[in-house]
Each structure stands twice: as C-alpha cells, then as structure tokens.
Amino acid sequence: MTWGPLRRLTGPAARLGLRHGSARTRFTALYVTLFLLSGTALLAIAAVVASGGSRDSRTAPGGGTALPATAAQARGRIDDLERQLAGAHDTQTRQILLGCAIALGVMLVISAALGWFVAGRVLRPLRVMTAATRRITADNLHERLAVDGPDDEVKDLADTIDDLLGRLEDSFDAQRLFVANASHELRTPLTTMRASLDVALAKPGPVPGTTATLAARMRTELDQVDRLLEGLLVLARSRHGEFTDPARLALGRLAHTALTARAEDIAAGGLTVRETRIDDSAWVHGSRTLLRRAVDNVIDNAVVHNGPGGSIAVTVRAEGGGPGTVSLVVESDGPVLDQRRVADLAQPFRRLGGDRTGTGRGSGLGLSIVAAVVRAHHGTLDLRARPAGGLRVTLTLPGAGAEGAP
C-alpha cells in the first residue's frame, strides 16, 4: 500500500477527502469491494444449499389425509403432493434469495458510508501530519509534529519526521552560525590591511606612484570584500528571521530616500528617473534595517546594471482594502535578458553574464538579499525581463495600514 496520494491533498477538498484517487477513496473502495465479494459468496452458498434441499425434499405431509382406495390413486396423490411441495419450496427459496440480494444492496451502501468514515478516522493522523509538515519552513524549523498516541506505525512516522526536522534545524543553524562567525572574523584582517595601507602611505617623504596606485587598487578590493561580508551577514540574519528593530515603515519613503542617496550615481551614469509614483498609504511592518537594505539593493541594481543613458521608473502602491498588500516596482533599462535565467538572479552569486559584472561594484548578493528579506516578511519577489530590455523587479509585502502611522 502506498501513501503517494497524501502528498497531493491540498485545499478544502483534500481536507474532506474528496480528491479523486485519494487514499481515503481507495480505502473505501477496498472495503466495499471486499464486502461485495463476501456477500456474493454468501448468497452463492445459500443458493446451493437451498437448491440441494429442494432436490432432497420428497416427503409429503400426510397427517389427517385419507388414503385413496387403490394403489394407483395413492401413487398419483403422492406425486401431486410432491410437486406442490417442490413448487412451494422453490418459491420460498427465490423469495429468500431476492430478500438477501436486496439486503446485500442496502448493506453495500451502508458499508460504503462506514468504510468512508473508518478510512477518514484511520487517515486523520496522517492528514494532520501532512498539514503540520507543510507549515514548517526554513524559518520555523523549531516546530515539531509531536504526535501523541500508541507506539504504532503512524507514531513511528511522526517521530521520524521530527528527527529529520531536528537534523535540518541543526544544519541550518550551523550554516548560519558559520556565515556570521566567518564574516565577523574576516573583518579583523580587513581592518589590519586597511591600517597597513594607511601606515605605508603616511610615511614621511614622497610616495612612489606605483605604491599609490597599488594602494588605491587594494582599497577598492578591500571595499568590495567588506561589502561582500556585510551582504553575507544581512543574508544570514534575514534568513534566520532575526528582527531586532521592528517598526511600521512607509515603503514609499524608503524608496525616495534610496533614490536621493544615489542621485550622484544616477547623474554620473547619464541615467534619468522617468517616473516616480509613490502612494503615501503604502505602509509595512517589519525590520527597519532589513527593509531599508532590500529597497537600497533594488535601487542599486537598477542603477548599476542599467544601460548607458538609460532610465529608471519607481512605483510604490497599496493594494486591496484594509491592510491589504504593498508593492514596490522598479523598472530599469538595459540589455534584453532571458526570462528563463532571470529567476537565477535571486540566488547568491548568480549573474547573467559579463555585462552585469563589469562595473566591479556588485557582490552577487544584492537580489538574493532582497529575496531573503522579502521571504522573512512573508512577501514575494518577482523578477521579469522587460521586452525592450532591462529588468522589472516587484516586491510585494503584507500591508500594515496607514492608521496610527508615525
């Protein structure tokens, strides 16, 4: 017996066991089939026994009946009585078989209902386990199924899943701890190298041109490594769901601040902000640091990976009544991208070719940090290649409403 259909049970229909081909349906069909076969066999045995009894019945009741005067008349009378008795027995047998067949049909319906109920009771722990397992993600691996009950196969399966979740949690924690510790530890040699450069350049006397050029190049590389380490720290913290500074924030204000801070870079690249539409009612609730970093990364991506003389469009809007959802849409020009590979940009250290790495400013973590931050805030990130070239990035987050906002 396989439990494959349980993986496909979703939605209200699955909770009621109505999905076609579900384990509950198959169990019910099995119960009904077994009942039908056993009932048919019982009817067949009863028919054989009844027909045998009809052939063996040869005695006619003679109580109170006067015998005929002659032997021939007596023999005829006996044959007549035997035929009447056989006919009555056959009629009674047919009636019994017909009644049994009707009872079998009624019990078939009742067995289907009982089978459906019993199958539901048997599979209920598995449905609860399936729903609980679906709710457990990388952000809440500490949760467990914790199924109570006798030590049977179902409890063994639940305990096995709990053990697996425990090992996954330990693995994720070890990975996050390693990234955080490595990032912190690497900052010390970076600081030492920066200090060494400063000491070398601060010595009395003229500094050779080659030394100054090498020092400038080393500073650029150190800045790149520093941004990479900072990105790893933010990525680890966002994936762990650590919100040390929760607040209600205006997403449009964050986008406007990010554009203002990059005004010089936009002008230096010959870029233009062709459109800025900001909805003042677009409020979200979450980590101030992480959300600001996500918005900054999206704007940075639009500036750094834009085409010469390109443009940027930023839209912030609130959707739906009440809190609803809030979205940030950033469109940028650039080369035509392959949509099948655009989704890879949300993975760490993924790029779409040399044209997106020639600036030397990117660390390959920008959009992956955005994806992790959005996921930690129960939102979605959508990356779309624009037909005319460039990228369209859409962040969708749960809205917090504007009432009582600071």
Q: Which neighbouring-strand residues pair with 249?
A: 284
Report pLDDT for 405: 44
pLDDT value at 254 more than 70: yes
What gap in Å lies between CA 305 and CA 391, rounded to an integer?
9
Report pLDDT for 191: 83
Report pLDDT for 13: 40
Closest CA to 251 of 276, 275, 289, 284: 284
Share of the chain above pLDDT 70, in %: 80
Q: How confident is the model at residue 141 (pLDDT cuts 50, 70, 90)?
A: confident
pLDDT value at 242 more than 60: no
Task: Give the lowest-confidence range in 49-58, 96-105, 236-245.
Answer: 49-58
Closest CA to 139 of 375, 396, 380: 375
Q: What mean pLDDT comes out for the span 107-126?
A: 85
What gap in Å lies between CA 78 and CA 83, rounded to an integer?
9
Report pLDDT for 256: 92
Name 47's Cβ contacts closer than 8 Å, sequence gap at least 6.
93, 97
Report pLDDT for 238: 67
In this structure, the strands spanning 325-332 and 311-319 are antiparallel
In this structure, the strands spanning 246-250 and 283-287 are antiparallel
Report pLDDT for 355: 43
Average pLDDT of the chain to the nearest whole number = 78
Element (H, E) at 18: none
Neighbouring C-beta atoms of residue 180, cutoff 10 Å: 15
Question: Which tens digit of pLDDT belongs to each residue from 359-371?
Answer: 445 566 788 888 8
Share of the chain above pLDDT 90, in %: 15
How far, CA to CA in Å, does 256 sit from each of 325, 330, 371, 383?
Answer: 19, 12, 20, 21
Phi-psi region at 113: left, alpha or beta (left = phi > 0; alpha = psi -120 to 50):
alpha
Question: Which tens digit of pLDDT belongs to each residue from 313-357?
Answer: 999 998 876 678 999 999 999 888 888 888 788 777 666 654 444
Report pLDDT for 38: 84
Number of H helices, E strands in the chain: 10, 7
Provide the greatest CA pair distance for the chain: 160
For residues 298 and 329, the answer to whether their CB atoms sit within 8 Å is no
Element (H, E) at 285: strand 283-287
Alpha helices, DSSP H, located in 70-152: 71-135
Q: Provide the 8-state DSSP code for 60.
A: P
Report pLDDT for 295: 93
How far, CA to CA in Å, does 383 sit from each of 44, 198, 272, 375?
Answer: 68, 42, 21, 14
What gap in Å lies between CA 43 and CA 211, rounded to an integer?
104
Please indicate whether residue 65 or residue 352 has the higher confidence score (pLDDT).
352
Q: How confident is the model at residue 31 (pLDDT cuts 50, 70, 90)?
A: confident
For residues 346 and 391, the answer to whether their CB atoms sit within 8 Å is no
pTM (predicted TM-score): 0.55
